[in-house]
Amino acid sequence: MDLGARSIRSAGAGSGSIEVTLPAALRDLQGLSCRISLRDGLRPEIVLMPDLRPARAVFARLWSLLAEACGGPAEELPLGELGLVLLPPPVSRPALAWVDGLVLAAPPPHPPEPLARCLRVMAPRLATRLEIADALAAGFGAAVAHAATGLVLEPEDQEACDIAGAALATEGEQPGGLRLDDAFAETAWRGLAPRLARLVALHQDWTDDPARHAALAAAWRRGVALELSGD
């Protein structure tokens, strides 16, 4: 990742204090402890290695809460399956972002976007353990993120969120999400668990009867086409 060139500034000769101004995209790393190493040679490099243990603990805790709420198996976070990047990637290439973990490691209130992105990545991996079809896993992830935060992260997630929301509405469920201000509040997760359990059951039913889900998707697309045409 090329973040451009930056100058090193000193607080004064002999002080040993230096500063490097990092790009704005890395503002969430402010205050993070870093190990510093020097790679010597023809092209010397000063390497900053941030301590990302708080983010790793956040991911593990979030995975545990999600698995428990969805009725999934109790197992360690499969980081190797999820992928890790420093900054949030496009939804088309989902991976956990260390920066999101660091934001959620701070005291609440937590912004909804980092939580939604983490759930959007974790839930599809959990789907395979819940016997949800691979073709439905991404939509399940979008619906879980929406249930917890009220956010639809990308336009391509709208279909899955609308279809799941409409199905839940027939059971008396209110639209939208709980909008968790504290990503790890156990009382909030207990309140969210029944909604997530219904989402799991819906996607398991659609796995057993894919034609039913295909019909719902076709109806949703017809509805969108009618709205766009103004008819």
Tens digit of pLDDT for each residue in 79-121?
888 889 998 887 778 899 999 999 999 999 999 999 999 999 9
pLDDT, residue 145, reads 95
Pair 191, 211 in one domain:
yes
Per the CB < 8 A criterion, the answer to whether 152 and 162 are in contact is no
| Structural domains counted in the chain | 2
Pair 125, 27 in one domain:
no
Pair 170, 87 in one domain:
yes
Residue numbers of the domain that contains 20: 8-50
Spatial CB neighbours of 210, under 8 Å, sequence gap ≥ 6: 133, 135
Q: Is residue 25 part of a domain?
A: yes
Pair 139, 107 in one domain:
yes
Q: Is residue 100 part of a domain?
A: yes
Per the CB < 8 A criterion, the answer to whether 128 and 134 are in contact is yes
Pair 119, 149 in one domain:
yes
Pair 102, 124 in one domain:
yes
List the one residue out of 1, 189, 192, 183 whose CA is nearest residue 101: 183
Q: Is residue 65 part of a domain?
A: yes
Pair 200, 99 in one domain:
yes
Task: Examine the fold and report which residue of 32, 50, 68 is the final residue of a domain before the chain moves on.
Answer: 50
Q: Is residue 188 part of a domain?
A: yes
pLDDT, residue 161, reads 96
Pair 16, 121 in one domain:
no
DSSP state of 87: S
Pair 145, 193 in one domain:
yes
Q: Is residue 1 part of a domain?
A: no
Pair 46, 149 in one domain:
no
Q: Is residue 44 part of a domain?
A: yes
Does residue 175 surpass a pLDDT of 60?
no
Pair 14, 62 in one domain:
no
Cα–Cα distance between 192 and 12 in angstroms, integer? 54
Pair 84, 118 in one domain:
yes
The residue that leads in pLDDT, 103 or 170, is 103
Confidence band for 185, pLDDT divided at 50, 70 and 90: very high
Average predicted confidence (pLDDT) for the chain: 88
